[in-house]
Amino acid sequence: MNDPVNQEPGAAAIAPYSALKPFERGLPPGRIPELRMVPMPADANVYGDVFGGWIMSQVDIAGSLAATRRANGRVATIAVNSFLFKHPAFVGDLLSFYSEIIKVGTTSITVAVAVYAERNRLQADCVKITEATVTYVATDENRKPRPVPALETLLRAPEDAPAHEDPKL
């Protein structure tokens, strides 16, 4: 593995880690993480590895961000459909959470969240540690389900925005 920090004197120059593209570091190509976090010692379980509940919480946040955008408003988590902790996360890992909407119902939005851990960041040591699917419900101001808006209404041209909205924002 390349190690730009502990390079032998006189060794050929190699690209610094910071110059590597995300896919060269083992992250999914062409995707932007919804969330990136570094777990701290306070996030560990009694064995010193990262507590699964902490990861679930971050996954819920990452999924809700995508669902909130699609719902164009507040959502509530109704179900965690699946959760696979395939590999452990360690304190100090750089975790990237990727969200993808996989289903839109009348009021519900189901999101797949994948979590990647960059363990030894100077050596591009990257592992997919967790996969989950979570369902959210678009809710109104009374916390009752409301229909997910049609995509066309969210993709309207800025000039079609209501007068009270600044189209530049």
Ligand X SMILES: CC(C)(COP(=O)(O)OP(=O)(O)OC[C@H]1O[C@@H](n2cnc3c(N)ncnc32)[C@H](O)[C@@H]1OP(=O)(O)O)[C@@H](O)C(=O)NCCC(=O)NCCS
Question: Tell me, what amino acid is at 150?
Answer: A
Nearer to ligand X, 27 or 64 (CB): 64
Cβ pair 107, 45 in contact under 8 A: no
56 phi/psi in degrees, rounded to 5: -60, -40
For ligand X (CB under 6 A), the number of binding residues is 13
Footprint of ligand X on 60-79 (CB under 6 A): 76-79
| Residue 61 C-beta: closest distance to ligand X, Å | 10
Taking residue 80's Cβ as centre, other Cβ atoms within 10 Å add up to 14
At 109, the amino acid letter reads I
State which residue has the least CB distance to ligand X.
Answer: 105
Q: How many residues does the chain have?
A: 169
Rule CB under 6 A: say whether 138 interacts with ligand X: no
Q: Toward ligand X, which CB reaches closer, 48 or 105? A: 105
Q: Pick the closest to residue 50 from 99, 115, 103 (CA basis).
A: 115
Among 12, 13, 143, 153, binds ligand X (CB under 6 A): 143
Residue of 58, 96, 130, 135 that binds ligand X (CB under 6 A): 135
Pick the closer one to ligand X by CB: 129 or 135: 135
